[in-house]
Amino acid sequence: MYEGSAETKRLVRLASSSPTRAKLLQNAGIDFVQSPVEFDEEALLQKYSDPKEFVCAVARGKLEAAVKRYGLDLPIVVADTVVSADGKILRKAKSKEEAKEILLAQSGNKVDIITCMIYADNEQTIEDLDITSYIFAPFDLDDLQRYLESGEWRGKAGACMVEGFCKKYIKEVRGRESTAMGLQVERLKEIIDAKAL
C-alpha cells in the first residue's frame, strides 16, 4: 500500500483489498490509501444474468458500502470484474469438475473480462465500463488436466488467470491490460488529472 499526503488533490481511497488493483495504482503514480469494504455480490447473481449489468450493480453496491463506512473526505474508487464467455458469467469454480466445465467454455473461444470502475467525490460520480477480450486457441486436454490437478484455479474468476495457465493459448487480445487486471488506471488518471486542474 502507498499512502500519499492528504493535502494532495490526487489522493484517492481505493475501496478494495485487491493487491493487483493497488499495484496498478502504484505503477500509475496515483497516490492512494487502501480501505477494503465488505459486500455480498452473490445475492446479485439471482437478479442479474447479463455480465455487464451484474458487474456494474456490484460496483455500485461496493461504492454504497464504502461511502457509508468512510464518507467522501477522500474521493473513492471502487471496481468489480467478471469473466464472461458466450454471454454467460463465469464465476469462481467451487469444485474441480466445475472448474473443468468453466475452462472448456473458454477453450477455443472469445473470453471477455469486464470491469466496472466508479470514481466518486463530493461533486460527482463517474462510472466507467470497459471490456478486454481474449481469443484463446483450444486448450490441450492433458495440459488442462494437469492444471486442474494443481489446484491453481481455486479462487480465480473463470478458473483462469491470463498471466497463468491461459497465457500460452492467447491468440489475440483486444483492449487494455489494466481492465483485464481489474482497474482501468488510464481512465482513472484522466479523471484525476481533470479534477486537479
Catalytic residues: 80
Q: Contact, 43 vs 25, CB < 8 A?
A: no
Q: Which of 86, 85, 78, 96 is nearest to 41 (CA)?
A: 78
Q: Which of 134, 141, 132, 139 is nearest to 171 (CA)?
A: 134
Please give the full DSSP string across 67-87, using - where no structure is assigned.
Answer: HHHHTTSS-EEEEEEEEEETT
105 CB neighbour count, 10 Å cutoff: 18
